[in-house]
């Protein structure tokens, strides 16, 4: 599990640095990337690296939390993305292969929304 944790740390560092060769080195050749909100899937290292290279705008990623779970064989990250002036958060699930590379990624980008009225007395807004 330590190996996958380190691979995921390298993945995010390479993405932020736009070091696409190092980014690709963290991925299995047949990596599978899923985006459930948009129902998109990317198969294969080459296409996934190209997807990230071509993503529009000046974006930056900062990982807030990384959890490696031996029982499930997964690493989960909670990250903060800045895309231009927009602020977004993502939760990303990673699984690895036998070589310690990333075999699959499922990424959720929850959209912020205003809560329904009537619970103001129970919550603190931030």
34-62 pLDDT, tens digit per residue, is 999 888 999 999 999 999 998 877 889 99
> What CATH number is associated with residue 15?
3.10.450.50
* φ, ψ (nearest 5 deg) of residue 45: -60, -50
Look at residue 42 and give its three-state secondary structure.
strand
Could you tell me the pTM of the whole model? 0.88
Mean pLDDT along residues 5-14:
97
Whether 78 is in a domain gets the answer yes
Pairing, β 59-69 against β 102-108? unpaired
State which residues form the domain around 20: 2-108
Q: How many domains does the chain have?
A: 1
């Amino acid at each position: 599990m330590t190996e996958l944790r380190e691979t995921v740390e390298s993945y995010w560092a390479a993405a932020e640095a736009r070091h696409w060769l190092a980014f690709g080195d963290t991925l299995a050749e047949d990596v599978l990337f899923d985006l459930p909100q948009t129902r998109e899937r990317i198969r294969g290292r080459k296409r996934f690296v190209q997807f990230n290279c071509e993503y529009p705008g000046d974006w930056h990623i900062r990982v807030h939390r990384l959890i490696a779970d031996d029982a499930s064989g997964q690493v989960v990250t909670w990250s903060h993305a800045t895309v231009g002036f927009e602020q977004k958060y993502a939760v990303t699930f990673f699984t690895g292969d036998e070589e310690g590379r990333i075999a699959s990624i499922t990424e959720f980008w929850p959209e912020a929304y205003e809560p329904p009225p009537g619970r103001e007395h129970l919550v603190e807004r931030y």
